[in-house]
Amino acid sequence: MKYTSKDDARKKMLEATPYAGESDSSYGNRVWRLGQQHDISTRKWESQKVQIMYSINCAKYAQNPDLQQELLTTGKLEITGAPSTWQWSYWNGWIQTQIREELRTDLGGSKSALGSYFLEHASLP
Protein backbone atom coordinates (compact mmCIF):
# COMPACT_ATOMS: atom_id res chain seq x y z
CA MET A 1 0.00 0.00 0.00
CA LYS A 2 0.99 3.60 -0.43
CA TYR A 3 0.97 4.38 3.29
CA THR A 4 1.97 2.45 6.36
CA SER A 5 -0.04 2.68 9.54
CA LYS A 6 2.74 4.87 10.95
CA ASP A 7 2.80 7.33 8.03
CA ASP A 8 1.98 10.86 9.23
CA ALA A 9 0.28 11.80 5.93
CA ARG A 10 -2.10 8.85 6.30
CA LYS A 11 -3.02 10.00 9.80
CA LYS A 12 -3.65 13.56 8.59
CA MET A 13 -5.90 12.32 5.78
CA LEU A 14 -7.91 10.11 8.13
CA GLU A 15 -8.37 12.98 10.57
CA ALA A 16 -9.28 15.57 7.93
CA THR A 17 -12.84 16.86 8.05
CA PRO A 18 -14.51 19.48 5.87
CA TYR A 19 -14.18 23.07 7.02
CA ALA A 20 -17.37 25.04 7.61
CA GLY A 21 -18.64 26.14 4.20
CA GLU A 22 -15.99 24.14 2.30
CA SER A 23 -17.32 22.57 -0.90
CA ASP A 24 -17.02 18.83 -1.48
CA SER A 25 -14.61 19.54 -4.33
CA SER A 26 -12.38 21.78 -2.21
CA TYR A 27 -12.40 19.25 0.61
CA GLY A 28 -11.49 16.42 -1.77
CA ASN A 29 -8.65 18.47 -3.26
CA ARG A 30 -7.34 19.33 0.21
CA VAL A 31 -7.31 15.67 1.25
CA TRP A 32 -5.63 14.76 -2.06
CA ARG A 33 -2.88 17.32 -1.37
CA LEU A 34 -2.36 15.79 2.08
CA GLY A 35 -1.88 12.45 0.34
CA GLN A 36 0.92 13.84 -1.78
CA GLN A 37 3.02 14.48 1.34
CA HIS A 38 4.27 11.10 2.42
CA ASP A 39 7.30 9.06 3.37
CA ILE A 40 6.51 5.98 1.33
CA SER A 41 8.77 3.47 -0.27
CA THR A 42 8.43 4.98 -3.73
CA ARG A 43 9.73 1.89 -5.49
CA LYS A 44 7.16 -0.33 -3.79
CA TRP A 45 4.28 2.06 -4.53
CA GLU A 46 5.33 2.54 -8.16
CA SER A 47 5.22 -1.21 -8.71
CA GLN A 48 1.75 -1.57 -7.17
CA LYS A 49 -0.31 1.55 -7.82
CA VAL A 50 -1.99 0.52 -11.08
CA GLN A 51 -2.98 -2.88 -9.67
CA ILE A 52 -4.33 -1.21 -6.53
CA MET A 53 -6.40 1.24 -8.60
CA TYR A 54 -7.68 -1.67 -10.69
CA SER A 55 -8.74 -3.52 -7.52
CA ILE A 56 -10.47 -0.41 -6.16
CA ASN A 57 -12.40 -0.01 -9.41
CA CYS A 58 -13.39 -3.70 -9.37
CA ALA A 59 -14.80 -3.19 -5.87
CA LYS A 60 -16.67 -0.07 -7.05
CA TYR A 61 -18.32 -1.95 -9.91
CA ALA A 62 -18.99 -5.02 -7.77
CA GLN A 63 -21.12 -2.86 -5.49
CA ASN A 64 -23.01 -0.99 -8.17
CA PRO A 65 -24.84 -2.81 -10.98
CA ASP A 66 -26.03 0.55 -12.38
CA LEU A 67 -22.39 1.60 -12.90
CA GLN A 68 -21.69 -1.74 -14.57
CA GLN A 69 -24.53 -1.09 -17.00
CA GLU A 70 -23.38 2.47 -17.61
CA LEU A 71 -19.88 1.23 -18.43
CA LEU A 72 -21.26 -1.40 -20.80
CA THR A 73 -23.31 1.21 -22.67
CA THR A 74 -20.06 2.84 -23.82
CA GLY A 75 -19.85 0.01 -26.35
CA LYS A 76 -16.46 0.01 -28.02
CA LEU A 77 -15.77 3.71 -27.56
CA GLU A 78 -12.30 4.66 -26.41
CA ILE A 79 -12.32 5.53 -22.73
CA THR A 80 -9.87 8.16 -21.54
CA GLY A 81 -9.41 9.45 -18.04
CA ALA A 82 -9.77 13.08 -17.08
CA PRO A 83 -6.58 15.14 -16.92
CA SER A 84 -4.64 14.15 -13.85
CA THR A 85 -1.20 13.66 -12.39
CA TRP A 86 1.41 11.10 -13.39
CA GLN A 87 -0.10 8.93 -16.16
CA TRP A 88 -3.51 8.49 -14.59
CA SER A 89 -5.37 9.81 -17.63
CA TYR A 90 -4.02 6.84 -19.56
CA TRP A 91 -4.34 4.29 -16.76
CA ASN A 92 -7.87 5.32 -15.73
CA GLY A 93 -9.03 4.82 -19.31
CA TRP A 94 -7.18 1.51 -19.59
CA ILE A 95 -8.63 0.21 -16.31
CA GLN A 96 -12.20 1.15 -17.29
CA THR A 97 -11.75 -0.45 -20.72
CA GLN A 98 -10.36 -3.63 -19.15
CA ILE A 99 -13.26 -3.87 -16.70
CA ARG A 100 -15.77 -3.24 -19.51
CA GLU A 101 -14.29 -6.11 -21.51
CA GLU A 102 -14.38 -8.39 -18.48
CA LEU A 103 -18.03 -7.48 -17.87
CA ARG A 104 -18.79 -8.36 -21.51
CA THR A 105 -17.05 -11.71 -21.09
CA ASP A 106 -19.20 -12.35 -18.02
CA LEU A 107 -22.36 -11.61 -20.00
CA GLY A 108 -21.27 -14.05 -22.69
CA GLY A 109 -21.26 -16.88 -20.18
CA SER A 110 -17.51 -17.21 -19.72
CA LYS A 111 -16.42 -16.05 -16.30
CA SER A 112 -13.50 -13.67 -16.18
CA ALA A 113 -11.34 -12.75 -13.22
CA LEU A 114 -13.58 -9.74 -12.66
CA GLY A 115 -16.67 -11.93 -12.73
CA SER A 116 -15.15 -14.08 -10.02
CA TYR A 117 -14.31 -10.95 -8.07
CA PHE A 118 -17.93 -9.77 -8.36
CA LEU A 119 -19.24 -13.12 -7.15
CA GLU A 120 -16.86 -13.20 -4.19
CA HIS A 121 -17.65 -9.63 -3.15
CA ALA A 122 -21.33 -9.33 -4.09
CA SER A 123 -22.32 -8.90 -0.46
CA LEU A 124 -20.19 -5.81 0.12
CA PRO A 125 -22.17 -3.04 1.83
Grade residue 73 by pLDDT with cuts at 50, 70 and 90.
Answer: very high
Q: Encode pLDDT of 23-53 as tens digits.
A: 998 998 888 888 777 655 666 777 788 888 8
Q: What residue ranges do the domains of the chain occupy?
A: 1-40, 42-125
Q: What's the whole-model pTM score? A: 0.58
* Pure H helices in 1-125: 8-15, 24-35, 42-62, 65-72, 88-107, 113-120
